[in-house]
């Protein structure tokens, strides 16, 4: 069962915390996601331990909400985690953690006895994760990417354990590469805006972004918003989403 921890966010801390808030936190095979239903008044991280919990977090909302218990009935149709990049990262990281734990289990699970047994194990998992949000393009791309990695490793003649390790590494890359892309987009976008408008210290620029460009939609820092504020003096910009 998913566990959770929560804290109240004071209004004065809102802007600063928002810039640093991340939708997914990881430590080795431990995965936590922020419960977006409670923001901005309460920050709660929910630990994801199983494939089923990841699927449920992506698709619907069925956990306890300590900050808004009285409104629980009004929130049951909403999502805990949003944003196609964040959704793909959660699915891939949970897949990786699940397989990584299996590799460390003794005795070795039966599905690690042969490439065919491993394929029979991981294919339904990837298919199941995809059903959590078929409209999320990144999710489909991530599950297909992991499936291709299996076939590539198998075709290379690798043994079952090596194939499993390749799958873990490839799944984690889904999240790592999202972070790298976000950093580049923010860096290039911020540098371009400053250079194009030749801003002086006494000038400001209004920036309007379409949809959510902050950290809650992605693995870590956001496609533009969060990293942008970290690298560009906030006094130069007024950002609206």
Q: What angle do CA 88, 121, 220 make, to 5 degrees?
A: 20
Single residue among 140, 162, 179 that ends a domain in this structure: 179
Phi-psi region of 103 (alpha: psi -120 to 50; beta: other; left: phi over 0): alpha
- Write the CB contacts of 23 (distance below 8 Å, at least 6 apart in sequence): 33, 34, 36, 81, 83, 86, 215, 216, 217, 218, 219
Q: What is the pLDDT of residue 74?
A: 41
Q: What is the pLDDT of residue 147?
A: 98
Distance CA 115, CA 121 (A): 10
Same domain, 119 and 236: no
Length of the chain: 241
- Write the CB contacts of 13 (distance below 8 Å, at least 6 apart in sequence): none
Same domain, 169 and 204: no
Same domain, 113 and 51: yes
Q: What is the pLDDT of residue 155?
A: 97
Q: What is the pLDDT of residue 161?
A: 98
Same domain, 112 and 189: no
Q: What is the pLDDT of residue 197?
A: 75
Strand ranges (DSSP E) for the chain?
A: 4-8, 24-27, 30-34, 42-48, 205-208, 237-240
Distance CA 19, CA 225 (A): 8
Same domain, 196 and 154: no
Q: Which tokens go with 60?
A: 């619907």
Same domain, 38 and 20: yes
Distance CA 48, CA 44 (A): 13
Same domain, 107 and 21: yes
Same domain, 31 and 109: yes
Same domain, 27 and 44: yes
3 state DSSP class of 143: helix
Same domain, 187 and 170: no
The whole model's pTM is what? 0.74
Same domain, 47 and 78: yes
Number of domains in the chain: 2
Single residue among 150, 179, 208 that ends a domain in this structure: 179
Same domain, 150 and 36: yes
Q: What is the pLDDT of residue 141?
A: 95
Q: What is the pLDDT of residue 85?
A: 81
Q: What is the pLDDT of residue 107?
A: 96
Q: How many CB atoms lie within 10 A of CB 118?
A: 24
Query: Is the Cβ–Cβ distance between 207 and 193 less than 8 Å?
Result: yes
For residue 59, with 0-12 CB atoms within 10 Å meaning exposed, 13-18 middle and 19 or more buried, which class applies? middle
Residue 231 domain boundaries: 182-240
Residues of the chain with pLDDT under 70: 1-20, 60-83, 199-202, 209, 211-241
């Amino acid at each position: 069962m998913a566990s959770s921890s929560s804290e109240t966010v004071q209004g004065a801390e809102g802007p600063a915390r928002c810039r640093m808030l991340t939708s997914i936190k990881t430590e080795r095979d431990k995965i936590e996601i922020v419960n977006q239903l409670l923001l901005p008044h309460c920050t709660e991280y929910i630990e994801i331990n199983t494939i089923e919990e990841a699927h449920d977090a992506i698709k619907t909302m069925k956990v306890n909400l300590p900050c808004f218990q009285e409104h629980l009935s009004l929130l049951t149709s909403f999502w805990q985690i949003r944003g196609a990049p964040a959704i793909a990262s959660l699915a891939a990281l949970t897949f990786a953690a699940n397989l990584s734990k299996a590799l460390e289990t003794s005795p070795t699970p039966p599905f690690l006895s042969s490439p065919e047994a491993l394929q029979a194990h991981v294919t339904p998992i990837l298919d199941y994760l995809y059903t959590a949000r078929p409209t999320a393009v990144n999710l489909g791309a991530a599950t297909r990417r992991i499936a291709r990695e299996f076939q590539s490793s198998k075709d290379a003649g690798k043994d079952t354990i090596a194939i499993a390790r390749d799958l873990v590494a490839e799944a984690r890359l889904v999240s790592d590469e999202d972070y790298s892309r976000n950093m580049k987009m923010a860096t290039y976008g911020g540098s371009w805006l400053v250079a194009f408008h030749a801003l002086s210290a006494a000038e400001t620029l209004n920036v309007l972004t379409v949809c959510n460009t902050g950290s809650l939609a992605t693995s870590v820092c956001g496609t533009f918003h969060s990293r942008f504020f970290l690298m560009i003096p906030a006094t130069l910009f007024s950002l609206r989403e």
